[in-house]
Structure formats: C-alpha cells, structure tokens
Amino acid sequence: MKIGVADTTFARVNMGGIAMDELRKHASVSIERVTVPGIKDLPVACKKLIEERKCGIVMALGMPGRQEKDRMCAHEASVGLISCQLITNTHIIEVFVHEDEATDDRELAWLAEQRTREHSRNVLILAFSPEELTRDAGTGQRQGFPDAGPARR
Amino acid sequence: MKIGVADTTFARVNMGGIAMDELRKHASVSIERVTVPGIKDLPVACKKLIEERKCGIVMALGMPGRQEKDRMCAHEASVGLISCQLITNTHIIEVFVHEDEATDDRELAWLAEQRTREHSRNVLILAFSPEELTRDAGTGQRQGFPDAGPARR
Amino acid sequence: MKIGVADTTFARVNMGGIAMDELRKHASVSIERVTVPGIKDLPVACKKLIEERKCGIVMALGMPGRQEKDRMCAHEASVGLISCQLITNTHIIEVFVHEDEATDDRELAWLAEQRTREHSRNVLILAFSPEELTRDAGTGQRQGFPDAGPARR
Amino acid sequence: MKIGVADTTFARVNMGGIAMDELRKHASVSIERVTVPGIKDLPVACKKLIEERKCGIVMALGMPGRQEKDRMCAHEASVGLISCQLITNTHIIEVFVHEDEATDDRELAWLAEQRTREHSRNVLILAFSPEELTRDAGTGQRQGFPDAGPARR
Amino acid sequence: MKIGVADTTFARVNMGGIAMDELRKHASVSIERVTVPGIKDLPVACKKLIEERKCGIVMALGMPGRQEKDRMCAHEASVGLISCQLITNTHIIEVFVHEDEATDDRELAWLAEQRTREHSRNVLILAFSPEELTRDAGTGQRQGFPDAGPARR
C-alpha cells in the first residue's frame, strides 16, 4: 500500500519530511509526497493522492496560526478532510499542530516533530495491523504531549 | 444484522469493549469492531464498517477532551457521522462523552460506561424493534444521567 | 402523498403524536411515523422515510436541551436535514423547540404543542396547495409565539 | 432563461413580490415563484425551481430574526444554498436582510426593498450580460446601504 | 492548462485584474475571468470555470468586510470552495483579504495587491512545477505580510 504525505509551506516545521523519515524507519513503504501553500489546500491534495496517485492512506500535516481566523481555517480544512475520507473510503490522518499549543518556537518545533512521528506510527498500524489499535482502545493515548491514560487505573 | 462498533485510543474508557459486552448480554448478534486514533477518524471508519464489513447499524464511541479545540473536533466528527448516515441510509448511533461532563475520573468512567450501555440497548431496539421507541416518544429519555422526563406529568 | 413524521425519545413532549393528530384533523392522509433517540438521528431517519417508505414530505420534530452542547447538536441536525432535502428533492419541515425558549415546563409543553400544530398545517399546505403560502409571503408568520407581522402596516 | 424567485412567510416584507416587480421592470423574463415557511426551507425550494421548473438562475430571499438562533438558521440556510449551487451548476443569489441591520420597522422595510431591487438587477446582469460585472470588479459595491467604494481613489 | 480567475464587485480592490497582471508577467497562459457580486457566489462560479470553461486551476479572490456577519460569509464561502475542489479534483487557491487585517484603506489596497500577486505565483508553481513547493515545506511562508519563517533556525 502506498502512503500519501501532504504538507504545507505555511507550517513552520518540515512536517512532511519528518513524517517520511519516521515512516521509512519502521517500514519499507512507497511514499507519495505533495506540498501545498496552506491547510485549506490539503483536502483536494489528499483526494488527488488517493485517486490519481493511488495512495491507500494519507497523512495531512499542517500548522494553524494563533489567530481566530486561523482556527476557522483549521476547522474548514478538517471538515474537508472528513468529506474526502467519506468520498474515497480511505483514512486520512490529520496531524495539525496549533501554534498556540506551544509557548515558544523551540517547544513548537519539538511538538510538531513529536506529534508527526507518533502519528506516522499510527498510520503504519492503521494500514498494516489495525487490530493492534483495539488493544489500546480507551487508554487515553495522546500524540506529542504525554498520554492522558485511562480514567480507571 | 451485523452491528458495527467503532471506538478510539484517545478515549479514557474502553467504550468499545463495554458496548460489545452490553450488546452480547441482550442478543446473540454478530459484531464487527474497529478502533481508530481519534473521533475525527470515526466517520470513515463507520463507512467502512457499513460498506466493506456489511454492518446494518453502527455505534460511534468517543470521548472529546476539555478544551475548545476538542469541542470543535467533536463537532466536525458529528457532521461527518451525519453525512455518512445520509450516504449509506444507515443509522450510526453517536455515543460521545465529553470529559467536562464529569467532575473527576471516577464519574467520567461511570458516565462513559452508563451512557454506552444505555445506547447499546437503543441500538438493539432500533435494529430489531424500532416501533418500541415510539412508545417512549417525547418522554425526555437521557443516556447516562437521569431522564429529564416529560414536561407534562 | 404520504407524510412522514419523525420524532425523538429525548424530547419532553410527544411531538410526533401531536403532529399526527393535527394532520388527521385536516386531511385524510397516509402517515408513516418513526421515533429515534435524539435529533442527530433525525436526518437519516427522514431519508429512510423518503426513500424506503416513500413519503413525499416529512416533519422532523425535536427538542434541543438548554446547554451549549445541545445548541451544537441542533445545528448539526439542521445541516443534515438540509443536506437530506437537497439529496432527495423533498421538503422536510424542521420543528425544533429549544428548551430555553420557555420559562417553565408548562410553557414548554404549550409551545411544543402549538408550534407542532401550526407547522403540521404548513406541511399540508406545502404538500397540497403550495401557492397558498405566496399569499402570506413577507407577513412575518411565526409558529408557536404570536406572528411578528409585516414591517409596513 | 427562466428566473426563479423563492421567499418566505417568515419575512416581514414581501421580498418575492418586490423582486418580481423589479425583474419585470427591466426585462420581459419568465418567472417561477415559490414561497416557503422559513429560510431553512429555501435550499430545497431553490433546487426544485432549478430541476423541476427549469430555472437558469434563482433568487433566495429571506429575513433572519434578531436572535442568536436566527443567525444560526441563516448560516445553515446559506451553507445549503451554496451546496445547491454546486450540485446544479446554477447561481442562486442570496438576498438576506437581517432584522438587526435596521433600527426600526420603517428602515427594515426600506432596506429589504432596496437590497431586493439592487440584487434583482444583479441577477439580470449575471443571467444576460455577466461580463458587465467585471467592469465593477473591486469597486466596493453594496446592496441596500451605500457602496463602500474602492480602497484606492 | 487554462487558469480561472474569479473575483467580486464587493471587494474594494480589483483583485482579479491584479491576478491577471501577475499571471501574465510570469507565463503566457490562457486565463478565463469571471466577476460575481459577493464571496458566497464564488464557489459555483469556480465550478463553472472548471467544468464549463475547462480551467485546470482557479483563483478565488474576495474581500470580506469587518462585521461578524462578514466573517460568517467568508466561512461559508470557504466551505463551498473546499467542496468544489473535492467534487472536481481541482485546486482552487482562495485569496481572501479581510478588511480588518488592515488599519486603513491604503494598507488594505497594498495588502490585497501583495497577497494577490504572491498567490498568483503560487498558482503558477502549483500548476506547472508543484514539486518546487516541497522545497519550501515548513518554512512559514505567508502571503502579503512578512513570512513567519521556520521555528528552528
């Protein structure tokens, strides 16, 4: 199965490059990569990766800015990514890191890398051994920051 | 009729496991289960349960976090779940427990279990004897917390 | 033409029963009724009434609760109902009574009944003599509370 | 080309009647009119005007009320109208006058009439000489209240 | 490949004219232009540019006003533009300049021109050498205001 990687020039971390590095560390898979200007360009970019370049699963990587307008862009992109999945019957793992989740550039870079790497592993599991995720059902997994863990311990 | 159960690793309670337990307590039905990372992955997961694994009804179980961003994720997932139902002409019962509905982890675990069990019974009724629901029309049923009851008593 | 009536067990007034009573008072029409747990289950329920049970028009009756989350549910349901209408080229008259429109249970019951009855008559007009509505174009009609009336008198 | 005119009984001004008057003042066109209860009924009404009554362009006229709920209804209707246009490849000119744009009933009636008349002329231009609009590109046109004008003068 | 340019009479800067000027400066491409009244008319205008006038990529140019209502219009237009892209498998580059991004008319005119020109170059790259964008992945590119730059330097 080919894996698609779509990222943006707007993001302040090379999330697509990190995703490819992590995917290749764990599996010898064929990867198709595309970069678009911003997160609102991701839904159609993902659709083309699926339909024109035959990807069986896609990562959509983006970094919404700090303003209210940016939050709205992220929302619009997310709605589009979900529609795209419904049209194509294909998973798209959205990896968005909001600039305001981090206190400074250093933490932002760390968080973007960490979350991208963890989600890259999720993508491989979802593509090749989805039943493994059921073992972690309801365990409060998080990507980037520490896991929340289960409510009952 | 096969029943689909889709849940997440993000949730802090094994909602999928609880749903399967409750469904099996009341009926000997065939169940297809899938676990995805987060609630935004649920719409396509449900579509695949319906179209690829031939489920006639699906439960979509998730636990949105406490932040504004999480509320937005829940909204996006809900819109996707409704679209999925319209495309497939198939009911998907959404069982979302918002972390901020509970005051602590203990109540959260209780609420998630309770709501999941009550909705599991709804799923069986909707699948096998939908006319029974009409008897409860307008009676203020709630899942988890106590029923609101009818406005006129 | 068959009329569909979809309501919920979440509502605190038997809106579906009231709608059927009012429809039958004014016309001898064939009615198909279905009850679902909550308002987010209404869009697909209406689609099935239209496509599987051959209704030519449908009433979608619900009672969103007082919380912010409930307002969001109502919004999601409304978007789904509009999509459903566009897919099927069939009118669905949404009759939602928000719990916070009334000051107490007594007024809530009154409002739900009143609005349901007035909209039931709208449904009959839309189904059987739609040109009658043009006579009331721009006259500030309301359902339940008093009409706003025209801006110019 | 037939022009569709869809309005509501909820509005407090006969916007459909005004639109027809203005359209006929400027062109001898065939008009199909329909009136529905509220703005959320407009998307499917417009779709039926396009597909069943063969309109090549449609005006969707409505007057959202002053409450937060009304703003949400207007949003839902707008999303539906845009979807309808995408499905049918047909322009629908939305003419919404929010009650809170005017300070009293008199101004409301004036604004509704003015905006409806100006948009009626837009509809004729869009239908019969769309290249004329390009002459006004970026000139800050408004409908009802005075034009904003270009930023550079 | 033909490039579509859609703009509005509502905008206060001739964004379509600027886009055409910039596109022609860098490439001898065939351009199809259309102007519509407002941003909510852009989605279907873009769809017609793609399907009826055979454009392979489109620019959607608009200038939302300062009010809350205008922000909602921009949101609705954006959702429609994303849907249109998903239906047509074609990129539409949205170039929206919000009036409240600038402190006065002079800055507004400057920003609208600058952002339109930078996005016009993006459109050419996306159309003719999309792999070039990957070189800028994660470098914090902005259009109009200065680039944010990468988080790690």
Tell me whether residues E47 and D82 touch, CB distance under 8 A: no
Tell me whether residues B34 and A71 touch, CB distance under 8 A: no
Question: Which chain A residue lies closest to B111 (C-alpha atoms)?
Answer: A151
The interface pTM score, or ipTM, of the predicted complex is 0.96
Distance CA B110, CA E43 (A): 47
Tell me whether residues E13 and D138 touch, CB distance under 8 A: yes
Instruction: List, in sequence order, every residue forming a beta bridge with B6; answer none if it has no partner.
Output: B34, B60
pLDDT of the residue at B104: 96
**What confidence tier does D14 reach under pLDDT thresholds 50, 70, 90?**
very high
Per-residue pLDDT 10s for chain A (153 aa) are 999 999 999 999 999 999 999 999 999 999 999 999 999 999 999 999 999 999 999 999 999 999 999 999 999 999 999 999 999 999 999 999 999 999 999 999 999 999 999 999 999 999 999 999 999 999 999 999 899 999 987
Average pLDDT over residues E6-16: 98
Distance CA C77, CA C93 (A): 13
Chain B contacts in chain C segment 3-22 (CB below 8 A): 7-17
Average pLDDT over residues E63-81: 96
The Cα of D106 is separated from the nearest Cα of chain E by a number of Å equal to 22
Q: In what order do the strands lie in the sheet with D2-8?
A: D31-36, D2-8, D55-62, D92-96
pLDDT of the residue at E153: 75
Average pLDDT over residues D142-150: 93
Question: Which chain C residue lies closest to D85 (C-alpha atoms)?
Answer: C86
pLDDT of the residue at A153: 75
Distance CA A4, CA A85 (A): 13
Chains touching chain C through at least 3 C-beta pairs below 8 angstroms are B, D
pLDDT tens by residue, D80-113? 999 999 999 999 999 999 999 999 999 999 999 9
Tell me whether residues E44 and D140 touch, CB distance under 8 A: no
Q: Is E138 in the A-facing interface, judged by CB distances under 8 Å? A: yes
Tell me whether residues E75 and A76 touch, CB distance under 8 A: yes
- The pair of structure tokens assigned to C135 is 């006579």
* pLDDT < 70 stretches in chain B: none
Tell me whether residues A87 and E86 touch, CB distance under 8 A: yes
pLDDT tens by residue, C37-96? 999 999 999 999 999 999 999 999 999 999 999 999 999 999 999 999 999 999 999 999
pLDDT tens by residue, E24-37? 999 999 999 999 99
Angle at CA of residue A36, ends A35 and A42, nearest 5°: 105
C23 has pLDDT over 80: yes
The Cα of E121 is separated from the nearest Cα of chain D by a number of Å equal to 21
Tell me whether residues B89 and C44 touch, CB distance under 8 A: yes
Chains touching chain B through at least 3 C-beta pairs below 8 angstroms are A, C
pLDDT tens by residue, E99-152? 999 999 999 999 999 999 999 999 999 999 999 999 999 999 999 989 999 998
pLDDT of the residue at E76: 98
Distance CA B134, CA B137 (A): 5
Question: Which chain A residue lies closest to E100 (C-alpha atoms)?
Answer: A69
**What confidence tier does E18 reach under pLDDT thresholds 50, 70, 90?**
very high
Place of tokens 């402190």: E103
Mean pLDDT across chain E: 97
Chains touching chain A through at least 3 C-beta pairs below 8 angstroms are B, E
Tell which of D18, D40, D71 to mutate to test the C interface (max C CBs under 10 Å): D40
Instruction: List, in sequence order, every residue forming a beta bridge with C92; answer none if it has no partner.
Output: C58
Question: Which chain D residue lies closest to E77 (C-alpha atoms)?
Answer: D82
Tell me whether residues C140 and D11 touch, CB distance under 8 A: yes
pLDDT of the residue at E88: 98
pLDDT of the residue at B153: 76
**What confidence tier does D153 reach under pLDDT thresholds 50, 70, 90?**
confident
pLDDT of the residue at C153: 75
Tell me if the pTM is above 0.90: yes
Place of tokens 């970019």: A45
The minimal CB distance from D93 to the residues E17, E37, E47 is found for E37
Backbone torsion region of residue A146, taken as left when φ is above 0, otherwise alpha when ψ lies between -120 and 50, otherwise beta: beta
pLDDT of the residue at B65: 94
Chains touching chain D through at least 3 C-beta pairs below 8 angstroms are C, E
Tell me whether residues C43 and B89 touch, CB distance under 8 A: no
Q: In what order do the strands lie in the sheet with B2-8?
A: B31-36, B2-8, B55-62, B92-96
Tell me whether residues A17 and E138 touch, CB distance under 8 A: yes
Q: Is C77 in the B-facing interface, judged by CB distances under 8 Å? A: yes
AA letter at A77: A
Phi, psi of A53 (to 5 degrees): -115, 10
E77 has pLDDT over 80: yes
Q: Identify all chain A residues contacting E122, using CB atoms and an 8 Å cutoff.
A: 37
